[in-house]
Amino acid sequence: MSDLSQQHCQACDSSTPALSAEQTESALSQLAARWTRVNDARIAAEFKFKNYGKTQAFVNAVAYIAHREMHHPEITFGYNQCRVELTTHAIGGLSENDFIVAAKVDRLVDD
């Protein structure tokens, strides 16, 4: 997996294999440290912002990425925080698509 943020999600279906634990760890190492493995089927990250406007702008940008990539995360947010979770529902696990979207989301924020 080279520069994930420059790749695009590919359609998958129930016959697409989920990433192995080794593939998941390799892909996770290419993301910002904020991303963690929730279980074998999800990755998640928490984001903090100065106010609601900045949080909302971030959520809208994540939604735009999801729309363009046709790969949709679960997003929860409040006044100054947001949580993004990714999984590939069609395969019941993690695919490269999850890491591509995560890498694109990482590009939205400065560390």
Residue 105 maps to a domain: yes
104: DSSP letter: H
State the average pLDDT over residues 53-66.
Answer: 98
Residue 1 maps to a domain: no
CATH at residue 111:
3.30.1360.20
Residue 19 maps to a domain: no
Q: What is the pTM of this model?
A: 0.94
State the average pLDDT over residues 88-102.
Answer: 96
Residue 2 has pLDDT above 70, yes or no: no
- Are the C-beta atoms of residues 76 and 82 closer than 8 Å to each other? yes
Q: How far apart are CA 71 and CA 64, in angstroms?
A: 10
**Which strands sit side by side in the sheet containing 36-39, from one edge to the other?**
36-39, 42-48, 81-86, 74-77
Phi, psi of 45, deg, nearest 5 = -145, 150
Domain span including residue 91: 37-111
Residue 104 maps to a domain: yes
pLDDT range class, residue 110, cuts 50, 70, 90: confident
Q: How many domains does the chain have?
A: 1
**From the centroid of its chain, how far is CA 43?**
7
State the average pLDDT over residues 67-82.
Answer: 97
pLDDT range class, residue 93, cuts 50, 70, 90: very high
- Are the C-beta atoms of residues 42 and 94 closer than 8 Å to each other? yes
